[in-house]
Structure 1
Amino acid sequence: MKEILNSISKTSLKVIDTSLAISDYTAVSISTKNTDLSTFDVSSSEEWSVYLEKFLKEKKAKVAFGGYFEKRDIYKRSAYFNSSEDNERNIHLGIDLWCDAGTKVLAVLDGEIHSFKNNLNHGDYGPTIIIKHQIKGIEFYSLYGHLSLDSSENIEVGQRVTQEEIIGYLGDNIVNGDYAPHLHFQLIIDMQGKQGDYPGVCSKEDVDFYQQNCPNPNLLLKLPNEI
């Protein structure tokens, strides 16, 4: 599967505003290894926004990206990710693209709307759209989380979308699960019957399954210097 996904395009595929060049992107870590995160309250979306704005300015960039299979402490702020101490979900399954609220969100490839939902748990996706793709004889799904409320107002399940079509916009911290604005982009092979939602974070006990079912989105995005 990884080889097929990687072969779909030799160039970077877009999931946010096409006016943003590859040179506008910079890699960022929000893992437990990033000592910068000890300098502010990581439970505060406002302080995250300040940190990311400063980070992007220093890097002379407009989008900070990364996070596939990154272990993060940020989820400790929400009971939704910590049903028990023995099964803490803190391993990130997609790539995050941190940029301004209102940024255009694009379908990565041709497909159809599989489902959509506003996921309201604290720290959850907020408004989310999932697209079903059939490419080179394989079926898979792409998930777009942390969107604006109006992103799902005029779409229907089964509706066809084309590559780089605008499917929504990034939401702010009021609607996106209380995060600094960003897109959570994830690939999924088997939706396991879920609609408008799929785990974006797993526990260490489930890593083997999710590494197979949620391949690295950078196989399509091909962003340089991923952390």
Structure 2
Amino acid sequence: MSPSTFNIFLKQLSRNAHPVLNPKIASSAYVPINLSETNPQLNTFNVASSSDWEKFMQSHLKSHQAKVAYGGYLEQRNIYKRSGYFNPANHSMERNIHLGIDFWLDAGENIYAPLQGTIHSFKNNTNYGDYGPTIILEHTIENQVFFTLYGHLSLASIKDIKQGDVVQRGEAFATLGTAEVNGDYAPHLHFQIIRDIAKYEGDYPGVCSKKNLDKFKSNCPDPNVLLNLY
């Protein structure tokens, strides 16, 4: 299935997809946020400080009378410069282009499965700036197999689960983690769609280099096609 055909497939699924956050949160309580290198506000605080991140996010939400800030697909971000995990010695391979959508809201909030699936894998990715606790669901719909990734979860989310567990559409199967466990960020969910997960388990790149963008963009379509946020 070509990338464009797969997007049409996702659009069809979106008609019955469940929100990944609490459905009681009104659409008017969502506000977009720009975390790309073009946003001068990111120069006004220490992006290496999770507490500064939380203050920045809370201020953004309060000023817009919102509960959730969202966005980020294919944003080129400078915030990953804080971690050597994203910045190898070969600067041409610096990873700074974001491949999912982030939802910034309070720690402890439930995360819901948009579609029925099974637990493909899970892991606590503990590199500085990494996902922290992560769950990947596998979906088989109309003979198409694809995956959704949920990063920056709580440790409790991966405590009593196993590969192959069935997760129903609309099931609250995880909660958001705090900065202490989520890679040292303000609490948020990283949601990503993956067509071919290859040999990855409990992990998959959520940020890529410019050099590899075409490959990852083809394999990780815009999650909004499924979620219908904008």
**Band the TM-score falls in, shorter-chain normalisation:** over 0.9
Q: Do residues 204 (structure 1) and 210 (structure 2) align?
A: yes
2:3 aligned residue: none
Determine the C-alpha separation between the residues in 2 that align with 1:174 and 1:17: 23
Give the one of 76, 84, 104 matched to 1:71.
76
> 1:46 matched to which residue of 2?
51
* TM-score, scaled to structure 1: 0.96
**Shift, 1:12, TM fit:** 6.3
Per-residue CA deviations over 1:184-207 (Å, capped at 9, x if unaligned) read 000000011110000000000001
Tell me if structure 1 keeps the 8 A contact 2:14–2:227: no
Distance 2:55 2:92 in 1: 33
Distance (whole Å) between structure 2 residues aligned to residue 5 and residue 120 of structure 1: 31
- Which residue is equivalent to 1:4? 9
1:16 corresponds to which residue?
21
Deviation at 1:9, TM superposition (A): 2.4
1:101/1:172 contact within 8 Å kept: yes
* AA matched with 2:39: N
- Identify the residue that residue 125 of structure 1 maps to in structure 2: 131
Q: Are 1:112 and 1:160, in contact at CA under 8 Å, matched by a contact in 2?
A: yes
Aligned residues: 224
* Structure 1 runs not aligned, ≥5 long: none
SS of the counterpart of 2:212? helix
Cα shift readout 1:56-110 (whole Å, capped 9, x = no counterpart): 0111110000000000001000000011212100000000000000010111210
Q: Report the alpha carbon displacement of residue 137 of structure 1 after superposing the two structures with TM.
A: 2.5
Distance 1:189 1:47 in 2: 35
CA distance in 1, matches of 2:7, 2:133: 28
- Aligned-pair distance for 1:11? 6.4
**Residue in structure 2 matched with residue 56 of structure 1 by the alignment:** 61
**Is the CA contact (8 Å cut-off) linking 1:148 and 1:171 kept in structure 2?**
yes
Distance 1:13 1:33, change over 3 A: farther
Provide the rounded CA distance (Å) in 2 between the counterparts of 1:12 and 1:152: 23
Q: Distance in 2 between matches of 1:115 and 1:10?
A: 27
8 Å CA contact 1:13, 1:222 repeated in 2: no
Q: Aligned equivalents of 2:224 and 2:159: distance in 1? A: 29
Match for residue 189 of structure 1? 195
Q: Is the 8 A contact 2:18 2:112 kept in 1?
A: no
Equivalent position amino acid for 1:34 in 2: N
Instruction: Indicate the residue corresponding to 2:171 in structure 1.
Output: 165
Which of residues 9, 32, 46 is equivalent to 1:27?
32
Secondary structure, counterpart of 1:204 in structure 2: coil
Residue 222 of structure 2 corresponds to residue 216 of structure 1: yes
Is it true that 1:93 corresponds to 2:99 in the alignment?
A: yes
Q: Distance in 1 between matches of 2:127 and 2:225?
A: 29
CA distance in 1, matches of 2:171, 2:120: 15
- Residue 149 of structure 1 and its aligned partner are, at CA, apart by 0.4
Q: In 2, Cα distance between the equivalents of 1:52 and 1:126?
A: 19
Deviation beyond 3 Å, 4+ runs, structure 1: none
* 1:212 Cα offset (Å): 0.7
Q: How far apart, CA to CA, are the structure 2 residues paired with 1:59 and 1:11?
A: 29
Taking only the aligned residue pairs, the percentage that are identical comes to 51
RMSD value, Cα: 1.0
Q: 8 Å contact 1:127–1:149 — kept in the other structure?
A: yes
Q: What does residue 41 of structure 2 align with?
A: 36
